Amino acid sequence: MEGSEAGGGGRHGDDAGDEGKAKIHAMLIATAEPIGKAATRPTTERPDMLEERPQVYDFRSVERRWQEEWERTGLYRARDDDAREKRYVLEMLPYPSGDLHVGHAKNYTLGDVIARMSRMQGYNVVHPMGFDAFGLPAENAAIERGIDPNVWTRANIANMQRQIRLMGTGYDWSREFATCDPSYYRWNQWIFLRLYADGLAYKREAPVNWCPKDQTVLANEQVEDGRCWRCGTLVERRNLSQWFLKITAFADRLLESLDRLDGWPEKVRTMQRNWIGRSEGVTFSFDIPDLDERVSVYTTRVDTLFGVTYLALAAEHPLVAKLLDRHPSHRAAVDAFTATLKNKSELERTSLMEKSGVFTGAYARNPLSNERVPIWITNYVLAEYGTGAVMGVPAHDERDFEFAHKLGLPIARVIEDPRAPAEGAVLAAFVDDGRLIASAEFTEMLSERARRAIGDRLVELGRGEWTVNYRIRDWLISRQRYWGTPIPIVYCPIDGEVAVPDDALPVVLPADVPITGEGSPLARDAAFIETTCPRCGGPARRESDTMDTFFESSWYYVRYLDPHDAVKPFDSARVDPWLNVDQYIGGSEHAVLHLLYARFFYKYFHDNGWLHGPDEPFQRLFNQGMVLRNGEKMSKSRGNVVGVDETADRHGVDAMRLFLLKATPPEDTMEWTDDGIAGRVRFLDRVWRAAEPLAERVRSVPLNALPQTTDDAQRGLVRALHAALKSGAEETQTRRFHYNTTLARLDELVNALTKFGQMSGAADVPAFLYAAHALPIVLAPFAPHVSEELWRRYGYATSVHLERWIDFDAAALAVDRIELVVQINGKIRARLDVAPDIEESAALEAAYADPNVRAHLEGKTIRKQIFVPGKLLNFVVV
Ligand SMILES: [Zn+2]
Ligand SMILES: [Zn+2]
């Protein structure tokens, strides 16, 4: 998506806090070289010295060759007519913004490993890729450098395709498309017209969020803390006629089905719940006696009704004009105040500006207490939220308190504050529930009961009704920009707003439109704008707004399943067998934007019967963590970007993939280090040295039967292999994806193979050949190139990536001996080789027998000994 630095993190959200730093530290320890290897290389070796050292494994001659071969043979092409159970693995549609760095690579690598593991476990896997190609950066390049957005975008796509291929990722490129292809956005228009026909797409005049820098309207979801999500500029308010999609009609269902999405991170579900923002309350009215009018307010705290000391209106509230007609002496003051609010953003008005307001001269009447309360116009009540009017309860609402305190309005306490004396000045708002005071017959009730009783009373009196409110607004999709999908509507002087008929789609985005950065480029393009009315044939004008790019990314994952359909967006017969997406992978910055819109579209498609099955698009969601360099997010301005090209060239992509997966669990932030990548290069050398010399012999030992042996070293080899097989299978099946643990097992396996291979006659030992034979299979999802090369050298004619994962064998994992650590005052003094079920007394005996332990106990008094069966014996001595 636009703004998605696919490797994680938009403008916020993923920065490593203290916890992140601790994890990075732990990771640095975890990636240290395994014991036994350090001896062969001086620890002072600098990674750049690797360049001079002849490499044992020559990745340069291997990686590109296999990538071409896999593509040529269509190895990763998913077939619809396959009886095996399906798996749909998907990374978020990337925005083609330029060069990829290792942060992006982490995202694609994780998805690739999941797809490869699933394929090897016998699933029919679809793993597609495409490009989210409309959007602002291309248009900004046009404004800044005069480059045609289409040329800029196509060049970026070509470069990004090359880089994604370079990573050895197994995508089904036959399904690829870019959302700026007319053959794709045509169906955007088609879907828009269905929404329009169903009343779910509509146009209205509305105050909108306007980014003065990007010169465009932003959806509420694209305003973060009052600032433009792309450029950080403070957003302004403007009135414009805009197209909206009625996502609010789905608010309750979007909320409800979140409960069923238990494969999603809880954090994302919480953010969506808060964004939808369902609340239950009462909408009721205050009389304005001298005007014979009523003002409607909504509150979730009707239990504080007796504490209302003023009524606050938005400056744009429709009653303001009437109030001023009645109280003309207040007009000048009100007009002056209103002028100060012009163009002020929502954030400025609700948070940044000091609370202020102006009295209108008018009073309203509290419907239950009959008290007269003054009507004020304030800067912190907005017309488009709720009713544009708020009851002011300063004793029990912080904003109201701040306002009343500043302007000297009365503050009436109606809920007992256990921390403050009942009499005397109210020094702060008490916002919790509690026991009612000074509230007529409702006094003494607890808040919850009082809400029910007071609400019911208002309903009985015909003054109010129980209301469910949502914070979510309709989705504003109009953009006054060029590089997007044209909205398929024309305006006819006779027929008004007319939908472009299906057979006239696509409304093609014209080429060669001058882009200046001011206003809408399409609106100035006469050849585009001037058209004929589809209904009467008379002259008409086209809509010049284009769609928010989140429209395209709301349904692309369905199109992948029927990517060449020229008759409709997709055919249910083709897409149903694959849906929904089993595993979705992407950055947490899309928690409320893309992920909410996509759920909305999918439910709409489902309602229309265009697809079937679950009415949620993404069964599981995984948010990967970022990759840092020198403790900071990679960026060109910081000069700390580690590019995919240079990494592939210097270290190879297998080493890159292994480091990205091994450094931390994938959801955590990791630090890219020179030592880390160098360690993985050396690991691949060890793999090569251990397995390649055996290429001619390994097939003499089949993989379908465990070699039978009682020799400890041989059993250790088999056990190390099966521990890695078990870990890989389990991390995939549990969807934990902590492949860092699998790779730690692989380190152990390769170390065991290396050590065993140094013994004379090793190459005749079946267990050794068995483990070497299986090595490319267990390594294949993580380091696909070296695995393929070894596999073919073993004499196989078909790809290792078509092999079945080997089911681990519990018998192979059984352990005869374990290592019991002996500590004295927390320091390790011995590692004893003992039976796994050794008892405390026998363990003590073995410890006393160890010379080093004895030396450290000499002359000391044992205060305490702690025995952790199977693991540890700890002495506390003085
Ligand atoms: Zn902006
Ligand atoms: Zn007409």
CA of 210 to the centre of ligand 1 (A): 8
CA of 233 to the centre of ligand 1 (A): 5
CA of 823 to the centre of ligand 1 (A): 60
pTM, two decimal places = 0.82
Mark the residues whose beta carbon lies below 5 A from ion ligand 2.
Answer: 492, 494-495, 533, 535-536
Give the whole-angstrom CA distance, residue 659 versus residue 665.
Answer: 11
Per-residue pLDDT at 849 exceeds 60:
yes
CA of 517 to the centre of ligand 1 (A): 12
What's at 647, amino acid-wise?
T
At 288, is the pLDDT very low, low, confident or very high (cuts 50, 70, 90)? Answer: very high
Task: State the pLDDT at residue 347.
Answer: 65
Of 25 and 146, the structure prediction assigns the larger pLDDT to: 146
Per-residue pLDDT at 80 exceeds 60:
yes
Under 8 Å between Cβ of 167 and 643 = no
Nearest to 275 by CA among 753, 716, 548, 595: 595
Task: State the pLDDT at residue 874.
Answer: 94
Provide the percentage of residues in the chain whose pLDDT is more than 70: 92
Least confident of 433-437, 776-780, 817-821, 856-860: 817-821
Each as own residue / partner, the long-range contacts of residues 293-299 (CB below 8 Å, 24 or more positions apart, any chain) are 293/319, 293/322, 295/319, 295/364, 295/375, 295/387, 295/389, 296/387, 296/389, 297/386, 297/387, 297/389, 297/390, 297/391, 298/386, 298/387, 298/467, 298/469, 299/390, 299/391
Per-residue pLDDT at 864 exceeds 60:
yes
Count helices and strands (H / E) in the chain. 27, 30
CA of 490 to the centre of ligand 2 (A): 9
User: Which phi and psi (to 5°) does residue 828 adopt?
Assistant: -75, 125
CA of 243 to the centre of ligand 2 (A): 20
Mean pLDDT of the chain: 90
CA of 221 to the centre of ligand 1 (A): 13
- C-alpha angle 814-818-822 in degrees, rounded to nearest 5: 160
Task: State the pLDDT at residue 351.
Answer: 66
**How long is the chain?**
878
Mark the residues whose beta carbon lies below 5 A from ion ligand 1.
Answer: 211, 213-214, 228, 230-231, 233
Task: State the pLDDT at residue 11.
Answer: 31
CA of 220 to the centre of ligand 1 (A): 13
Mean pLDDT of 254-270: 96
Task: State the pLDDT at residue 420.
Answer: 80
Task: State the pLDDT at residue 30.
Answer: 35
Q: Structure tokens of 450?
A: 């009082």
Name the closest ligand to CA 498: 2
Name the closest ligand to CA 538: 2
CA of 499 to the centre of ligand 2 (A): 11
The pLDDT tens digits of the residues spanning 704-717 come to 989 988 888 999 99
Under 8 Å between Cβ of 235 and 347 = yes
The pLDDT tens digits of the residues spanning 623-679 come to 999 999 999 999 888 889 999 999 999 999 999 999 999 999 999 999 999 999 999
Helix (H) or strand (E) holding 475: strand 475-476
CA of 135 to the centre of ligand 1 (A): 12
Name the closest ligand to CA 535: 2
Under 8 Å between Cβ of 565 and 193 = no
Per-residue pLDDT at 833 exceeds 70:
yes
CA of 780 to the centre of ligand 2 (A): 62
CA of 284 to the centre of ligand 1 (A): 39
At 136, is the pLDDT very low, low, confident or very high (cuts 50, 70, 90)? Answer: confident
Per-residue pLDDT at 817 exceeds 90:
no
CA of 244 to the centre of ligand 2 (A): 23
CA of 229 to the centre of ligand 1 (A): 7
Mean pLDDT of 96-107: 90
Mean pLDDT of 49-62: 67
CA of 588 to the centre of ligand 1 (A): 20
Task: State the pLDDT at residue 221.
Answer: 67
